[in-house]
Amino acid sequence: MAELANNSTAPAAQAIDEARRRKLLELVRGRALARPTDLAEDEVMVWPSLVVVEAVSAVVFLGILTILSVLVNAPLLERANPQQTPNPSKAPWYFLNLQELLLHMDAGLAGVIVPTLALGGIAAIPYFDRSPLGVGILGTSSKGRKIIAFSAVFTTVVLTGMILIDEVIGTGTQWGIGRYLQEEQGAPEWVGGIVLSALIMAGTIGVFVVFVKGIFRPTRRELIIALFTGFFVAYWVLAIFGTSFRGEGQELTWPWNLPLEHH
Which residues from 217-236 bind another protein, rule CB under 8 A? 221, 225, 228, 232, 235
Look up residue 191 and give its DSSP letter.
I
CB of 193 to another protein, least distance (A): 11
Buried b (16+ CB within 10 A) or exposed e, 197-219: beebbeebeeebeeebeeebebb
Residue 17, SS3? coil
For residue 133, what are the CA distances in angstroms to 53, 129, 220?
28, 10, 11
Nearest to 242 by CA among 106, 77, 86, 92: 92
Cα 220 from Cα 16, distance rounded (Å): 61
Cα 70 from Cα 170, distance rounded (Å): 44
CB of 113 to another protein, least distance (A): 7
Q: Would you count residue 238 as binding another protein (CB under 8 A)? A: no
Residue 171, SS3? coil
Q: Would you count residue 136 as binding another protein (CB under 8 A)? A: yes
Q: Is the peptide bond before 88 cis (omega within 30 degrees of 0)?
A: yes
CB of 126 to another protein, least distance (A): 4
Question: Which residues, in sequence order, are CB contacts of 217 under 8 Å at separation 6+?
Answer: none
CB of 244 to another protein, least distance (A): 15
Between 119 and 199, name the residue whose CB sits nearer to another protein.
Answer: 119
Question: Which residues, in sequence order, are CB contacts of 118 under 8 Å at separation 6+?
Answer: 231
Per-residue binding string, another protein, 166-205, x by CB under 8 A, is ----------------------------------------
Between 3 and 164, name the residue whose CB sits nearer to another protein.
Answer: 3
User: Quick one: which of 26, 127, 249, 260 contacts another protein (CB under 8 A)?
Assistant: 127
CB of 1 to another protein, least distance (A): 6
**Number of residues near another protein (by CB under 8 A):** 92
Residue 134, SS3? coil
Per-residue binding string, another protein, 2-41, x by CB under 8 A, is --x--xx--x--xx-x----------------xxxx-x--
User: Quick one: which of 100, 103, 104, 148 contacts another protein (CB under 8 A)?
Assistant: 148
CB of 150 to another protein, least distance (A): 14
Cα 54 from Cα 49, distance rounded (Å): 9
Give residues 47-86 in contact with another protein (rule: CB under 8 A): 47-51, 53-54, 57-58, 61-62, 65-66, 68-70, 72-82, 84-86
Between 28 and 80, name the residue whose CB sits nearer to another protein.
Answer: 80
